Amino acid sequence: MKKIFFFILFCYFVNPIFSQEDSQTAKFSTLPSVDIKTLDGKNFNTKDIDNDGKPIIISLWATWCRPCIEELTAIAELYEDWVEETGVKLYAISVDDSKTASRVVPFVNGRAWEYEVLQDVNSDFKRAMNVVDIPYLCVLNEKREIVWQHTSYAPGNENEIYEVVKKISNK
Amino acid sequence: MKRQLLFLWQILFLALLLIPPLTKGQSTIGRGKISGDFSFSGMYYLPDSLINATEVEEKVRANTYLNLLYTNANFSVGARYEFYLFPLIDFEQIGYKGQGITYFFADYKNDFLQVTAGSFYEQFGNGFTLRAYEDRALGIDNSLYGARVKVTPYSGINIKAIWGIQRKNFDFNFMERKDFVRGGDMEVVFDEIFPKMSERGFSTSVGGSFVSKYENPKDVTLKLPANVGVWSLRFLFRYKGFRIESEYANKINDPNLGNGFIYKNGEALFITTSYSQKGLGVSLSFIRTDNMDFRSQRNTPNTTPLLQINNMPSINHQYTYALLGNYSFVSQPNGEIGLQLQANYNIPKKTKIGGKYGTDLTIHYSRLHDIDKQFVAASDSLGSLKGTDGYISHFFKFGKNLLYQDIGFEMSRRLNSHWKLGLEYNFLTYNLHLLQGEADTNLFKGHHAGVEVQYKINSRHALRLDAQHLYSKQDMGSWLHLLIEYSISPHWFFSVADAWNYGNSQKEKKIHYFNVAATYIIKTTRISLQYGKTREGILCSGGVCRTVPASYGVGLSVITSF
């Protein structure tokens, strides 16, 4: 208990001091460097997530997670327009483990999703991002900094996501 | 009681304190950054004799943990503090009780090398030889405490080596442990080495691993092996939309409590093949496992996930419905054989049948049996196989007992900008006798039908109705489940649910399990308050399950990451 308390106190002190000192670079965090896989079984480091200075959306999902699929389906209906208007790219990173990992490819194709799909089979990226529950979604700006993030999905969230994406692409 | 309440308040206070400094922006020290996550999930228990929720001594209980991660360029250090001194009753039942720093590490990583000292999670291939992982919702944490090295000498070649002692709940006496795990894995991804392969639509990779466990072989009656090894080979091949991947593993004599101390080798084979193109995906998987339960300590009962070194995947369909939780198949590392077939099809949008928005269809089928066993002569007059080779088994022969079967169909479609519809039907067969140890040897057979309707009132408000019916004459009989959820994007969820066991053969057990909940979400923080009854049964998360006792009460959870 004491340890937690001291940590929180520590946060209170550390946060204002350092965010002032280095406000430009420290305002937003960037992606951690974690080795995950592409759907072809190639290695992929998450720091290589890129979209040539255009906005990026990252979604952590799984084939057994209903709200995740609901969210990605809702975005899929609008995705063509989003790409056309803002050049955004969505990375759908599946945390399916070996029970269902081999069904990710047919699942994604079966849904006709146009996303970049990656596989994080032992949740290493999820852990490095401090994500507790999925669905988790974040938006990255032109410098690949996480400017917006959210857990869970409620119908209509896609509108807010798009507002954020538009703001970045209009900059 | 007073102490309990005080503790609850302390935790809550801390949780609330945590939110403001951490949502302001990223905390930094120099050029590094601090991130983390915090989770509190507490409950005030009420007794209810009808559902079998017995009175507990400590009525206020909670699971709390905090993860912290500091990253600076190629270096990172992290730790987790867990406070489970008065855990939720289901965690207490599995022995997940205690407090302390249960996970801490230091890590260096560049493109060529990664070195980790301290706690780590790791998986080789499909996890047949090694899978150190966590599932916090289920109280599973098989992390290893030791060291790990990963090397990429050439792009496309990956080598890993590990040494560690496995976490055993809140037992921190690592120095007194007489068991440890070590192993290595190598993988070659040919299309990374020869990029031209990819251009022609080919992908190929091969891998192999070996993991060995050491445990002090003290035993009065048997000559036990001090070291037990498991090796495996695997490959993946893809040509355009066609894929096949497979892994074979073999375990060298491992007498343990779970297999009745037999000396037979274990083996497992997993093959999965799929074909997909835009709008269509079909996959077929086959699995056979035999005596593959592999643990750090041979006397661990195989009814718990504790000290499991490897992990055999269950290939059946992963249901998320509460009503089907009780009949969710969990993989049987000591003997199962079966297959799974799944097809996903998207009827394109703007077509006559697909409608304006398209329609998603899924069909799936899986069937799992026990394996064929011809037992050897017993080692004593009581018929025990202890100390023998146990049995012989024909590799591709299905055992005579059906363990599990599912046949299902799903459809989901947006009708217009306001309405969305989902339909589902499943037929399940489940062997309660062999999988849950019930005395009744009749197979459970259930017909499950579900309708989900979503009505989007406007761009932020939506209403969702989820109705499910499970029809069965076995076990607890038929159920009706209704859920109404109102959501206001992006912050609020309100729900009312009732699961009614109207078909229970005992009149007094035709119970309503109601539940009301409210959730508030801001960014990556979720606060939720819940009141209701939970039935005795099996809780599953991502395809792994454990039994939970019946409970009744008020729950509060605060989860945040920063």
**Per-residue pLDDT tens over the stretch B137-186:** 888 999 999 999 999 999 999 999 999 999 999 988 877 888 999 999 99
Exposure class string for B129-156: b at 16+ Cβ within 10 A, else e: bbbbbbbbbbbbbbbbbbbbebebeeeb
Tell me the residue type at B37: D
Q: B322 vs B408, which has greater pLDDT? A: B408
**Residue B457 to residue B44: CA distance in whole angstroms:** 35
Half-sphere exposure at residue B285, Cβ-oriented, CA atoms within 13 angstroms: 28
Residue A69's alpha-carbon distances to A72, A94, A154, in angstroms, are 5, 11, 12
Share of chain A above pLDDT 70, in %: 84
Exposure class string for A67-105: b at 16+ Cβ within 10 A, else e: bbbbbbbbbbeebeebeeebebbbbbbbbbbbbbbbbbb
- Chain B, 424 to 453: residues with Cβ < 8 Å from chain A are none
Q: B377 vs B43, which has greater pLDDT? A: B43
Average pLDDT for A115-134: 93
Query: Do the chains contact at B69 and A128, CB–CB below 8 Å?
Result: yes
**Residue A86 to residue A162: CA distance in whole angstroms:** 9
Judged by a CB distance cut-off of 8 A, whether residue B359 touches chain A is no
Query: What ipTM is given for this predicted complex?
Result: 0.88
Tell me the residue type at B175: M
Residue found by looking up tokens 């559902």 in the block? B51
> What pLDDT score was predicted for residue B16?
52
| pTM confidence score | 0.89
Contacts of B454 in chain A (CB under 8 A): 155
**Residue B64 to residue B14: CA distance in whole angstroms:** 11
Contacts of A140 in chain B (CB under 8 A): none
Q: Is pLDDT at B136 greater than 70 in this prediction?
A: yes
> What pLDDT score was predicted for residue B23?
47
Share of chain A above pLDDT 90, in %: 65
Average pLDDT for A142-170: 92
Contacts of A103 in chain B (CB under 8 A): 272, 274, 283, 285, 342
* Cβ-nearest to B189 among A41, A66, A77: A41
Contact B65, B82 (CB under 8 A): yes
Query: Do the chains contact at B81 and A3, CB–CB below 8 Å?
Result: yes
**Residue B354 to residue B347: CA distance in whole angstroms:** 5
Contacts of A160 in chain B (CB under 8 A): 489-490
Task: Give the chain A residue whose CA is nearest to the CA of B526.
Answer: A151
Half-sphere exposure at residue B394, Cβ-oriented, CA atoms within 13 angstroms: 6
Q: What's the whole-number average pLDDT of chain B?
A: 89
N-to-C CA span, chain B: 33
Compute the nearest-CA separation of A83 from chain B (Å): 18
Average pLDDT for B481-491: 92
- Comparing CA positions, the residue from B357, B331, B364, B360 lying closest to residue B346 is B360
* Cβ-nearest to B35 among A7, A15, A29: A29
Contact B541, A114 (CB under 8 A): no
> What pLDDT score was predicted for residue B495?
92
Mutation for testing the B interface, residue in A102, A107, A146 having most B CBs under 10 Å = A102
Contacts of B277 in chain A (CB under 8 A): 109
Q: Which residues does B474 contact at the CB level (< 8 Å), separation at least 6?
A: B432, B440, B442, B443, B444, B445, B446
Residue found by looking up tokens 């375990």 in the block? B251
Beta strands A56-61 and A89-94 are: parallel
- β partners of residue B421: B413, B453
Query: Do the chains contact at A3 and B83, CB–CB below 8 Å?
Result: no
Contact B322, B380 (CB under 8 A): no
- Comparing CA positions, the residue from B11, B23, B32, B132 lying closest to residue B76 is B32
Compute the nearest-CA separation of A28 from chain B (Å): 6
> What pLDDT score was predicted for residue B178?
87
Beta strands A116-119 and A136-140 are: unpaired
Exposure class string for B273-292: b at 16+ Cβ within 10 A, else e: bbbbeebbbbbbbbbbbbbb
Compute the nearest-CA separation of B323 from chain A (Å): 15
Query: Do the chains contact at A8 and B14, CB–CB below 8 Å?
Result: yes
Residue B18, token pair as written in the block: 């945590």
Q: Is pLDDT at B320 greater than 80 in this prediction?
A: no
Beta strands A56-61 and A136-140 are: antiparallel
Handedness of CA A105, A106, A107, A111 (dihedral sign): positive
Question: pLDDT band for position B30 (50/70/90)?
Answer: low
Q: Which residues does B376 contact at the CB level (< 8 Å), separation at least 6?
A: B385, B388, B389, B390, B391, B392
Worst-scoring range by mean pLDDT, B14-18, B115-119, B416-420? B14-18
Tell me the residue type at A65: C
> What pLDDT score was predicted for residue B198?
86
> What pLDDT score was predicted for residue A142?
92
Q: Kindly report whether the peptide bond that precedes residue B21 is cis, defined as omega within 30 degrees of 0.
A: no
CA dihedral B492, A124, A115, A169 (to 10 degrees): 70
Largest distance between two CA atoms of chain B: 75
pLDDT in tens, B321-369: 878 878 888 889 999 999 999 999 999 988 888 888 889 999 999 999 9
Tell me the residue type at B144: L
Contact A136, A59 (CB under 8 A): yes
- Comparing CA positions, the residue from A101, A100, A87 lying closest to residue A37 is A101
- Comparing CA positions, the residue from A159, A30, A40 lying closest to residue A104 is A40
Contact B144, B162 (CB under 8 A): yes
Query: Do the chains contact at B524 and A149, CB–CB below 8 Å?
Result: yes
Residue B556, token pair as written in the block: 């509060």
Question: pLDDT band for position B385 (50/70/90)?
Answer: confident
> What pLDDT score was predicted for residue B485?
93
**Residue B242 to residue B227: CA distance in whole angstroms:** 40
Where are the alpha helices (H) located in B118-229, listed in sequence order? 190-193, 195-199
pLDDT in tens, B508-518: 889 999 999 99
Judged by a CB distance cut-off of 8 A, whether residue B70 touches chain A is no
- Which stretches of B216-304 are assigned E, i.e. beta strand? 227-239, 242-251, 266-277, 280-290
Contact B322, B481 (CB under 8 A): yes
Helix or strand (DSSP H, E) at A160: helix A157-170
Compute the nearest-CA separation of A90 from chain B (Å): 17
**Residue B445 to residue B521: CA distance in whole angstroms:** 39
Q: Is pLDDT at B118 greater than 70 in this prediction?
A: yes
Compute the nearest-CA separation of B50 from chain A (Å): 32
Average pLDDT for B282-296: 95
Task: Give the chain A residue whose CA is nearest to the CA of B201.
Answer: A40
Mutation for testing the B interface, residue in A109, A126, A127 having most B CBs under 10 Å = A109
Average pLDDT for A57-76: 93
> What pLDDT score was predicted for residue B321?
80
Return the axis-axis angle of helices A66-86 and A157-170, rounded to nearest 10°. Answer: 30
> What pLDDT score was predicted for residue B27?
52
pLDDT in tens, A5-27: 555 545 544 444 444 444 444 57
**Contacts for B186-190 with beta carbons within 8 Å, 24 or more apart?**
B186/B157, B186/B158, B186/B159, B186/B160, B187/B125, B187/B157, B187/B158, B188/B156, B188/B157, B188/B158, B189/A41, B189/A42, B189/A43, B189/B156, B189/B157, B189/B158, B190/B156
Mutation for testing the B interface, residue in A6, A97, A139, A159 having most B CBs under 10 Å = A97
Residue found by looking up tokens 């063509």 in the block? A80
> What pLDDT score was predicted for residue A22?
43
> What pLDDT score was predicted for residue B96?
92
Contacts of B343 in chain A (CB under 8 A): 106, 110
